[in-house]
Amino acid sequence: MSKLVLLRHGQSLFNLEGRFTGWLDIDLSERGRAEAGEAGWLMKSSGLSFDIAFASVLKRAIRTLWIVLDEMDQMWIPALPCWRLNERFYGDLQGKSKQETEKRYGMAQVQIWRRSFLERPPAVDEEDDRNPGLDARYRDVLDSLLPRTESLQDTQERVLPFWRALIAPELEKGKNVLVVSHGNTIRALVKHLENISDLEIEKVEIATARPLVYELDDQMRLVGRHYLGGVQACGKNGK
Protein backbone atom coordinates (compact mmCIF):
# COMPACT_ATOMS: atom_id res chain seq x y z
CA MET A 1 0.00 0.00 0.00
CA SER A 2 1.44 3.36 -1.03
CA LYS A 3 0.32 6.86 -0.13
CA LEU A 4 0.19 9.94 -2.31
CA VAL A 5 -0.24 13.35 -0.72
CA LEU A 6 -1.23 16.30 -2.88
CA LEU A 7 -0.55 19.65 -1.24
CA ARG A 8 -1.34 23.08 -2.59
CA HIS A 9 1.18 25.71 -1.51
CA GLY A 10 0.35 28.05 1.34
CA GLN A 11 -1.24 31.44 0.73
CA SER A 12 0.85 33.53 -1.68
CA LEU A 13 1.19 37.31 -1.78
CA PHE A 14 -1.04 37.39 -4.87
CA ASN A 15 -3.62 35.15 -3.15
CA LEU A 16 -3.65 37.77 -0.41
CA GLU A 17 -4.04 40.61 -2.93
CA GLY A 18 -6.68 38.84 -5.02
CA ARG A 19 -4.61 38.63 -8.21
CA PHE A 20 -4.27 35.97 -10.89
CA THR A 21 -0.87 34.34 -10.46
CA GLY A 22 -0.33 31.49 -12.92
CA TRP A 23 3.37 31.14 -13.72
CA LEU A 24 4.40 34.44 -12.11
CA ASP A 25 6.97 33.57 -9.45
CA ILE A 26 5.27 35.01 -6.38
CA ASP A 27 6.38 34.08 -2.86
CA LEU A 28 4.35 33.01 0.18
CA SER A 29 2.74 35.50 2.51
CA GLU A 30 3.44 35.28 6.23
CA ARG A 31 0.17 33.41 6.60
CA GLY A 32 1.25 31.07 3.79
CA ARG A 33 4.47 30.21 5.62
CA ALA A 34 2.50 29.47 8.76
CA GLU A 35 0.07 27.31 6.77
CA ALA A 36 2.99 25.32 5.32
CA GLY A 37 4.38 24.72 8.80
CA GLU A 38 0.98 23.55 10.01
CA ALA A 39 0.70 21.17 7.05
CA GLY A 40 4.06 19.63 7.94
CA TRP A 41 3.01 19.30 11.58
CA LEU A 42 -0.28 17.66 10.58
CA MET A 43 1.44 15.08 8.39
CA LYS A 44 4.10 14.29 10.97
CA SER A 45 1.48 14.03 13.72
CA SER A 46 -0.58 11.62 11.62
CA GLY A 47 2.43 9.33 11.19
CA LEU A 48 3.06 10.13 7.54
CA SER A 49 6.54 9.97 6.08
CA PHE A 50 7.76 10.20 2.50
CA ASP A 51 10.32 8.54 0.26
CA ILE A 52 10.36 11.22 -2.44
CA ALA A 53 8.80 14.61 -3.14
CA PHE A 54 7.98 16.61 -6.26
CA ALA A 55 7.18 20.30 -6.72
CA SER A 56 6.77 22.91 -9.41
CA VAL A 57 9.61 25.32 -10.22
CA LEU A 58 7.72 28.26 -8.67
CA LYS A 59 8.99 29.53 -5.33
CA ARG A 60 5.65 29.44 -3.52
CA ALA A 61 5.54 25.66 -4.06
CA ILE A 62 9.25 25.12 -3.42
CA ARG A 63 9.21 27.16 -0.21
CA THR A 64 6.12 25.30 0.98
CA LEU A 65 7.95 22.03 0.33
CA TRP A 66 11.04 23.21 2.24
CA ILE A 67 8.97 24.30 5.24
CA VAL A 68 6.98 21.05 5.24
CA LEU A 69 10.03 18.80 5.03
CA ASP A 70 11.83 20.83 7.69
CA GLU A 71 8.82 20.50 10.02
CA MET A 72 8.73 16.74 9.34
CA ASP A 73 12.52 16.38 9.75
CA GLN A 74 12.65 14.89 6.25
CA MET A 75 14.73 17.43 4.36
CA TRP A 76 17.05 14.60 3.35
CA ILE A 77 14.63 12.90 0.95
CA PRO A 78 14.92 13.48 -2.83
CA ALA A 79 12.90 16.56 -3.79
CA LEU A 80 12.57 17.16 -7.51
CA PRO A 81 11.13 20.32 -9.11
CA CYS A 82 9.60 20.29 -12.59
CA TRP A 83 7.85 22.93 -14.71
CA ARG A 84 5.14 20.42 -15.61
CA LEU A 85 3.80 20.83 -12.05
CA ASN A 86 3.47 24.61 -12.44
CA GLU A 87 0.13 26.30 -11.92
CA ARG A 88 -2.22 26.69 -14.86
CA PHE A 89 -0.91 29.43 -17.16
CA TYR A 90 -3.53 32.18 -16.93
CA GLY A 91 -2.32 34.07 -20.00
CA ASP A 92 -3.00 37.79 -20.07
CA LEU A 93 -4.85 37.62 -16.75
CA GLN A 94 -1.62 36.93 -14.86
CA GLY A 95 -0.78 39.65 -12.38
CA LYS A 96 -4.14 41.35 -12.77
CA SER A 97 -6.65 42.00 -10.02
CA LYS A 98 -9.54 39.53 -10.07
CA GLN A 99 -11.93 42.33 -9.09
CA GLU A 100 -10.77 44.61 -11.91
CA THR A 101 -10.87 41.71 -14.39
CA GLU A 102 -14.49 41.03 -13.41
CA LYS A 103 -15.34 44.69 -14.02
CA ARG A 104 -13.76 44.55 -17.49
CA TYR A 105 -15.03 41.18 -18.73
CA GLY A 106 -17.98 40.49 -16.45
CA MET A 107 -18.23 38.12 -13.52
CA ALA A 108 -19.77 35.33 -15.60
CA GLN A 109 -16.93 35.30 -18.14
CA VAL A 110 -14.24 35.36 -15.45
CA GLN A 111 -15.97 32.50 -13.65
CA ILE A 112 -15.92 30.48 -16.87
CA TRP A 113 -12.20 31.12 -17.30
CA ARG A 114 -11.52 30.13 -13.69
CA ARG A 115 -13.67 27.02 -13.37
CA SER A 116 -14.35 25.58 -16.84
CA PHE A 117 -12.36 22.57 -18.01
CA LEU A 118 -12.10 23.73 -21.63
CA GLU A 119 -12.06 27.55 -21.73
CA ARG A 120 -8.79 29.48 -22.11
CA PRO A 121 -8.27 33.10 -21.03
CA PRO A 122 -6.68 35.59 -23.48
CA ALA A 123 -3.10 34.65 -24.37
CA VAL A 124 0.05 36.71 -23.77
CA ASP A 125 1.96 38.01 -26.78
CA GLU A 126 5.31 36.54 -27.79
CA GLU A 127 7.10 39.73 -26.70
CA ASP A 128 5.29 39.92 -23.35
CA ASP A 129 7.54 39.65 -20.28
CA ARG A 130 5.14 36.99 -18.99
CA ASN A 131 5.88 34.70 -21.95
CA PRO A 132 7.69 31.70 -20.36
CA GLY A 133 9.84 31.39 -23.48
CA LEU A 134 11.71 34.48 -22.21
CA ASP A 135 12.35 32.99 -18.75
CA ALA A 136 15.74 31.33 -18.17
CA ARG A 137 14.25 28.55 -16.03
CA TYR A 138 12.50 27.17 -19.14
CA ARG A 139 15.43 27.51 -21.55
CA ASP A 140 15.74 23.73 -21.94
CA VAL A 141 12.00 23.25 -22.64
CA LEU A 142 10.86 23.13 -26.26
CA ASP A 143 9.10 26.37 -27.14
CA SER A 144 6.20 24.35 -28.55
CA LEU A 145 5.55 22.98 -25.04
CA LEU A 146 5.48 26.36 -23.31
CA PRO A 147 1.99 27.87 -23.02
CA ARG A 148 0.84 31.43 -23.57
CA THR A 149 -2.55 30.53 -22.12
CA GLU A 150 -4.09 27.32 -20.77
CA SER A 151 -7.42 25.75 -20.02
CA LEU A 152 -7.62 23.20 -17.21
CA GLN A 153 -7.61 20.54 -19.93
CA ASP A 154 -4.30 21.94 -21.24
CA THR A 155 -2.92 21.88 -17.70
CA GLN A 156 -3.93 18.24 -17.31
CA GLU A 157 -2.30 17.32 -20.63
CA ARG A 158 0.90 19.01 -19.41
CA VAL A 159 0.86 17.28 -16.02
CA LEU A 160 -0.09 13.71 -16.95
CA PRO A 161 3.16 12.82 -18.80
CA PHE A 162 5.05 13.73 -15.62
CA TRP A 163 2.58 11.71 -13.54
CA ARG A 164 3.05 8.64 -15.72
CA ALA A 165 6.83 8.94 -16.09
CA LEU A 166 7.93 9.89 -12.56
CA ILE A 167 5.20 9.93 -9.92
CA ALA A 168 3.21 6.77 -10.70
CA PRO A 169 6.33 4.54 -10.95
CA GLU A 170 7.35 5.54 -7.40
CA LEU A 171 3.89 4.67 -6.11
CA GLU A 172 4.00 1.35 -7.97
CA LYS A 173 7.15 0.53 -5.99
CA GLY A 174 5.17 1.00 -2.77
CA LYS A 175 6.75 4.35 -1.93
CA ASN A 176 5.02 7.28 -0.27
CA VAL A 177 5.06 10.39 -2.47
CA LEU A 178 4.48 14.06 -1.68
CA VAL A 179 3.51 16.44 -4.49
CA VAL A 180 3.52 20.16 -3.66
CA SER A 181 1.91 22.14 -6.42
CA HIS A 182 -0.93 24.54 -7.19
CA GLY A 183 -4.70 24.67 -7.08
CA ASN A 184 -5.43 23.99 -10.74
CA THR A 185 -2.59 21.51 -11.20
CA ILE A 186 -3.92 19.51 -8.27
CA ARG A 187 -7.46 19.79 -9.65
CA ALA A 188 -6.13 18.24 -12.86
CA LEU A 189 -4.54 15.35 -10.94
CA VAL A 190 -7.67 14.86 -8.82
CA LYS A 191 -9.77 14.71 -11.99
CA HIS A 192 -7.50 11.99 -13.36
CA LEU A 193 -7.26 9.98 -10.14
CA GLU A 194 -10.98 10.04 -9.41
CA ASN A 195 -12.27 10.01 -12.99
CA ILE A 196 -14.26 13.19 -12.42
CA SER A 197 -16.27 14.50 -15.37
CA ASP A 198 -15.49 17.73 -17.21
CA LEU A 199 -18.60 19.30 -15.68
CA GLU A 200 -18.10 18.08 -12.11
CA ILE A 201 -14.50 19.29 -11.96
CA GLU A 202 -15.85 22.85 -12.04
CA LYS A 203 -17.11 22.29 -8.46
CA VAL A 204 -13.82 20.97 -7.09
CA GLU A 205 -11.93 23.31 -4.76
CA ILE A 206 -8.44 22.78 -3.37
CA ALA A 207 -7.66 24.39 -0.02
CA THR A 208 -4.27 26.02 0.55
CA ALA A 209 -1.77 23.91 2.47
CA ARG A 210 -4.23 21.16 3.46
CA PRO A 211 -2.78 17.69 2.77
CA LEU A 212 -5.02 15.53 0.56
CA VAL A 213 -4.07 11.90 1.19
CA TYR A 214 -4.69 9.08 -1.31
CA GLU A 215 -4.12 5.42 -0.51
CA LEU A 216 -3.35 3.13 -3.45
CA ASP A 217 -3.01 -0.64 -3.61
CA ASP A 218 -0.28 -2.49 -5.52
CA GLN A 219 -2.42 -2.33 -8.66
CA MET A 220 -2.58 1.48 -8.38
CA ARG A 221 -6.26 1.31 -7.48
CA LEU A 222 -7.61 4.04 -5.24
CA VAL A 223 -8.70 2.53 -1.93
CA GLY A 224 -8.99 5.64 0.24
CA ARG A 225 -8.76 9.42 0.31
CA HIS A 226 -9.07 12.06 3.00
CA TYR A 227 -7.98 15.54 3.97
CA LEU A 228 -5.90 16.12 7.08
CA GLY A 229 -6.76 18.97 9.38
CA GLY A 230 -10.52 18.88 9.53
CA VAL A 231 -11.17 20.21 6.01
CA GLN A 232 -13.74 18.35 3.94
CA ALA A 233 -12.38 16.47 0.96
CA CYS A 234 -12.67 18.25 -2.35
CA GLY A 235 -13.42 15.53 -4.88
CA LYS A 236 -16.68 14.41 -6.42
CA ASN A 237 -17.71 12.33 -3.41
CA GLY A 238 -17.33 15.18 -0.95
CA LYS A 239 -16.19 12.92 1.86
How far apart CA 53 and CA 143 sit, in angstroms, is: 27
226 as an active site residue: the answer is: no
Contacts of 106 (CB under 8 A, 6+ apart): none
Q: CA geometry: angle at 64 spanning 213 and 191, to 5°?
A: 40
- With beta carbons less than 8 A apart as the criterion, state whether 93 and 121 touch: yes
- Give the pairing type, strands 52-55 and 177-181: parallel
- Alpha helix locations (H) across 77-151? 98-105, 107-115
Pick the catalytic residue: 35, 38, 87, 170?
Answer: 87
Pick the catalytic residue: 9, 35, 38, 150?
Answer: 9
- With beta carbons less than 8 A apart as the criterion, state whether 68 and 40 touch: yes
In this structure, is the dihedral angle defined by the CA atoms of residues 193, 198, 204 and 208, taken in order, positive or negative?
positive
192 as an active site residue: the answer is: no
- Alpha helix locations (H) across the chain? 13-17, 30-45, 59-71, 98-105, 107-115, 152-162, 168-172, 183-194
How far apart CA 203 and CA 220 sit, in angstroms, is: 25
Report, as residue numbers or ranges, the catalytic residues.
Answer: 9, 87
